[in-house]
């Protein structure tokens, strides 16, 4: 067994107690969910429906934008639908996975209390729920749900095994980023049960034209200073592109920090990535954004947002420039620095 059986059974007892008055449960992902969040949510819903016989559905705020994420939901036939105001009617309880209440990437109302919170981000002082399982030493929330699934005694459908294995591998970049022994064991347990053909189609989906348009913009709006690269995407149609580009730019030679900014529906979306295992990217970004917005993350990845819907275009641009300069200063470059374009003009 991946973890201590007695501890997991105690968790199950606490979940059962938390759900004792629940008639219907909505398992909510964070906004614009990634594979870790989606796979964790569908697994928790499967356990609740089959172990506790409580109707459970999976909802998300925002959009599912990245091609790999859409492919996972489509090819595995996962029942994941957008959240609506009607879902907050009386008699419906909520479980939050891969996030906590009151964060900037959540559509869950601040005044409501979920019955369950399962996450691998740092536990917030404001997080309240009837059952909380937060494990910051895990590389993926999907690993936590894998342990629950294995201990449940329920059959593990290939559909779920495939979703969870992709959730773990994508969150940890094929077990190379923030993956611990628990994540490795979970992945190795799931992989033989996964559908390899479907997994390949998820990992290598057809890419829409707007991906290449955004990539072109990113390449021409990226600037390098020593070991850092910064990218400004401007207005975007897909908020997932910010994290995607931050990951992509980190692959540059001698680059150990990347920052990407993009504007989506009145917010400046911010992503930070680092190769430094002691980088504490989540804390770094929270201090970087400060009172201007909200942020969270792990040791090597972080995301945040700054509301700018009521600001003039010039003011939004000014904030983005300030974030970039503050980013470089917090890396140790004390004065305002002049960066170098990633691309130089091609020869005629």
Q: How confident is the model at residue 346 (pLDDT cuts 50, 70, 90)?
A: low
Q: How confident is the model at residue 1 (pLDDT cuts 50, 70, 90)?
A: very low
Ranking 1-15, 106-120, 239-253, 291-305 by mean pLDDT, the lowest is 1-15
- Token pair 């449940």 in the structure block, residue: 152
Q: What is the pLDDT of residues 202-226, one digit of tens each?
A: 999 999 999 999 999 999 999 999 9
Dihedral angle of Cα 320, 324, 329, 330, to the nearest 10 degrees: 90
Res 102: pLDDT: 82
Backbone angles phi, psi at 84, to 5 degrees: -135, 165
Residues composing the chain:
348
The larger pLDDT score, comparing residue 105 to residue 283, is at 283
With the C-alpha atoms ordered 125, 17, 52, 92, is the resulting torsion angle positive or negative? negative
**Mind listing the domains of the chain with CATH numbers?**
5-203 (3.90.1640.10), 209-341 (3.10.310.40)
Structure tokens at 175: 């077990």
Structure tokens at 316: 């939004």
What 8-state DSSP symbol labels residue 117? E
Indicate the SS3 state at residue 114: coil
Q: What is the pLDDT of residues 48-71, one digit of tens each?
A: 999 999 999 999 999 999 999 999
Res 258: pLDDT: 98
Mean pLDDT of all residues belonging to the chain: 93
Res 348: pLDDT: 52
Between vectors from CA 82 to CA 81 and to CA 83, what angle results, nearest 5°? 120
CB 96 within 8 A of CB 108: yes
CA dist 244 and 115 (Å) reads 32
- Does the pLDDT value for residue 3 go beyond 70? no
CB 260 within 8 A of CB 242: yes
Q: Which helix (DSSP H) or strand (DSSP E) does residue 145 occupy?
A: helix 141-152
Indicate the SS3 state at residue 222: strand
Q: What is the pLDDT of residues 164-208, one digit of tens each?
A: 999 999 999 999 999 999 999 999 999 999 999 999 999 999 999
CB 48 within 8 A of CB 20: no
CB 151 within 8 A of CB 4: no
Res 148: pLDDT: 96
Distance of CA 341 to the CA centre of its chain: 29
CA dist 185 and 144 (Å) reads 11
């Amino acid at each position: 067994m991946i973890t201590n059986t007695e501890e997991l059974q105690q968790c199950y007892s606490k979940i059962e107690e938390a759900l004792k008055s629940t008639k219907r449960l909505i398992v909510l992902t964070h906004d614009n969910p990634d594979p870790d969040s989606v796979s964790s949510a569908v697994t928790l819903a499967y356990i609740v429906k089959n172990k506790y016989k409580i109707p459970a559905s999976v909802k998300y705020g925002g959009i599912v934008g990245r091609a790999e994420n859409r492919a996972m939901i489509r090819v595995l036939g996962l029942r994941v639908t957008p959240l609506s105001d009607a879902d907050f009617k009386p008699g419906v309880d909520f479980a939050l996975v891969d996030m906590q209440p009151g964060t900037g990437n959540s559509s869950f109302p601040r005044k409501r209390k979920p019955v369950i919170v399962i996450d691998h981000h740092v536990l917030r002082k404001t997080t309240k729920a009837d059952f909380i399982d937060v494990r910051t030493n895990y590389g993926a929330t999907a690993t936590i749900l894998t342990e629950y699934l294995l201990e449940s005694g329920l059959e593990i459908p290939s559909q779920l095994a495939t979703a969870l294995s992709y959730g773990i591998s994508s969150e940890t970049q094929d077990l190379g980023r923030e993956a611990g022994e628990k994540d490795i064991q979970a992945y190795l347990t799931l992989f033989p049960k996964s559908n390899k053909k479907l997994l390949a189609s998820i990992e290598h989906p057809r890419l829409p034209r707007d991906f290449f348009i955004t990539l072109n913009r990113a390449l021409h709006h990226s600037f390098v200073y020593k070991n850092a690269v910064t990218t400004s995407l401007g207005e975007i149609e897909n908020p997932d592109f910010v994290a995607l580009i931050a990951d992509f730019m980190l692959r540059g030679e001698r680059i150990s920090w990347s920052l990407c900014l993009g504007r989506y529906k009145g917010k400046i979306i911010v992503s930070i990535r680092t190769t430094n295992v002691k980088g504490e990217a989540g804390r770094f970004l929270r201090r970087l954004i400060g009172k201007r917005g909200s942020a969270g993350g792990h040791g090597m990845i972080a995301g945040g947002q700054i509301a700018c819907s009521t600001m003039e275009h010039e003011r939004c641009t000014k904030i983005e420039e300030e974030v970039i300069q503050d980013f470089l200063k917090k890396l140790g470059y004390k004065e305002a620095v002049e960066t170098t374009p990633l691309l130089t003009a091609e020869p005629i």
